[in-house]
Amino acid sequence: DGGITQSPKYLFRKEGQNVTLSCEQNLNHDAMYWYRQDPGQGLRLIYYSQIVNDFQKGDIAEGYSVSREKKESFPLTVTSAQKNPTAFYLCASSIPDRKFGYTFGSGTRLTVV
Amino acid sequence: KQEVTQIPAALSVPEGENLVLNCSFTDSAIYNLQWFRQDPGKGLTSLLLIQSSQREQTSGRLNASLDKSSGRSTLYIAASQPGDSATYLCAVRLHNRDDKIIFGKGTRLHILP
């Protein structure tokens, strides 16, 4: 079955460390997205990519970085510059044709220890 | 700037009742509207996608309507069951050069057995 796989499910980060969250899809979707979800704040867009080797900043890109070297993969790195990284991170993908909706992964919960 | 609002933030109803969840948006220039379900600690599951030219979509006990001119959508759940307990989010896909979707903060639904 096609879908989006996020790993790991839980991730713990020490102060000052960079960590990378994985997102892989086998839906053959061109566009991929990273969202952050905090209680009471809804989903906020971090980065998105509509094509390989190209990506755009979302509303809260500071302290994060991404790459899009393959169509199937869109990893997110949470850098030490992100001062409040504890959150639930969701990856999504879509066909760029706006008639279609988004498909989401199961999420990664990141906690700073 | 598009804003999406979901009221109420939380709702409890007895099992077996029919219920309606509300979603409103400020700018009618949308491509489509998507309803999602999210269980605690999980990703988003797409329930229904309504194109801007459509009035409603149905899937099983779920029916979603869209009134683009008034900026409103409703999700109707018939014969509610305890398994319907979850957070329900709506999201609109923007009709502009930014390929983004804007989420509401969700309605947390609890079906009382």
Tens-place pLDDT, residues A19-73: 999 999 999 999 999 999 998 788 999 999 999 999 999 999 999 999 999 999 9
Q: Percent of chain A beyond pLDDT 70?
A: 99
More confident residue, A96 or A85: A85
Reply yes or no on whether the pLDDT at A107 is more than 80. yes
Whole-angstrom distance, CA of residue B29 vs CA of residue B82: 36
Reply yes or no on whether the pLDDT at A113 is more than 90. no
Give the residue on B whose Cα is nearest the Cα of A105: B43
More confident residue, A85 or B98: A85
**A41-52 b/e (C-beta count within 10 Å ≥ 16 → b):** ebbebbbbbeee
Reply yes or no on whether the pLDDT at A98 is more than 80. no
Reply yes or no on whether the pLDDT at B66 is more than 90. yes
CA distance B33 to chain A (A): 8
Backbone angles phi, psi at B83, to 5 degrees: -70, -10
Specify the pLDDT at position A1.
Answer: 65
Backbone angles phi, psi at B49, to 5 degrees: -125, 125
Cis before B8? omega within 30: yes
CB A99 within 8 A of CB B31: yes
Q: Percent of chain A beyond pLDDT 90?
A: 80
Reply yes or no on whether the pLDDT at A84 is more than 80. yes
Radius of gyration (C-alpha) of chain A in whole angstroms: 13
Specify the pLDDT at position B38.
Answer: 96
Residues of A with CB under 8 A from a CB of B: 6, 31, 40-43, 45, 48, 50, 58, 88, 90, 92, 96, 98-107, 109
Q: Percent of chain B beyond pLDDT 70?
A: 97
Output helix, strand, coil percentages for chain A, rounded to the nearest 5.
0, 55, 45
More confident residue, A40 or B3: B3
Specify the pLDDT at position A7.
Answer: 96
* Residues recorded for chain A: 113
Placement of tokens 């899009």 in the chain? A68
For CA atoms B88, A86, A90, A9, the dihedral sign is negative
Q: Average pLDDT of chain A?
A: 93
More confident residue, B91 or A100: B91
- Transcribe B9-56 into DSSP letters: SEEEEETT--EEEEEEES---EEEEEEEEE-TTS-EEEEEEEETT-SE
Chain B contact set for A105 (CB, 8 A) = 43
Residue ranges of alpha helices (H) inside chain B are: none
Confidence class of residue B34 from pLDDT cuts 50, 70 and 90? very high
CB A95 within 8 A of CB A31: yes
Give the residue on A whose Cα is nearest the Cα of B88: A42
Identity of the residue in B32, B99, B104 whose CB atom sits nearest the CB atom of A50:
B99
